[in-house]
Amino acid sequence: MTTLTLKQANQIIDAVFAKARELDLPPVGCAILDAGGHLKAFQAEDGLAFARVIVCQAKAWGSLGVGVDSNKIAERYCAGGPNPGFINALNAMTGGYVVPLAGGVLIKDADGNNIGAVGVSGAKPEEDEVCARAGLAAMRA
């Protein structure tokens, strides 16, 4: 399995910010976690609300913890049935560290193994996800 490097993490962040500026979004923050859920890199654009720092990490952490992008967690949460209960229980067990909104995306190596996750927050969740995916595309280029 490949290990996520600091250089790759910074490439992702640079591309996330470039996409956010291209789309003229409000200030965003970007957290990169390694495969163990540890913070590898984080940056916030000027003017980012302070709670977004935590939201970025929680989107990425939830993706790693559940093994899917956070938009899938959001879909499960909104679908009803046992899903909201599971996510609420997961949040209780982890001190509220799962945000069921788009913007958290798994980072995979060439073999498809999870090597980390990116979390973006500051704009609408769908826009956060677009920025996160732009970051991953830049890392792979």
DSSP of 37-98, one letter per residue?
A: S-EEEEEE-TT--THHHHHHHHHHHHHHHHTS-HHHHHHHHHT-TTHHHHHHHHHHHTTS--
- At the top level of CATH, the class of 6-140 is alpha beta
Residue 103: half-sphere exposure toward Cβ, Cα within 13 Å: 27
Per residue in 76-120, pLDDT (tens digit) is: 888 877 778 888 888 899 888 898 999 999 999 999 999 999 999
User: What is the rounded average pLDDT for all residues in the chain?
Assistant: 93
Nearest to 12 by CA among 38, 43, 36, 37: 43
Q: What is the mean pLDDT of residues 19-44?
A: 98
Helix/strand/coil for 6: helix
141 pLDDT higher than 70: no
8 pLDDT higher than 70: yes
Nearest to 132 by CA among 46, 141, 121: 121
Whether residue 63 contacts residue 101, with contact meaning beta carbons closer than 8 Å, is answered with no
Q: What is the mean pLDDT of residues 115-133?
A: 98
Q: Give pTM, 2 decimals.
A: 0.94
**Better-predicted residue by pLDDT, 79 or 36:** 36
DSSP 36: T
Helix/strand/coil for 4: coil
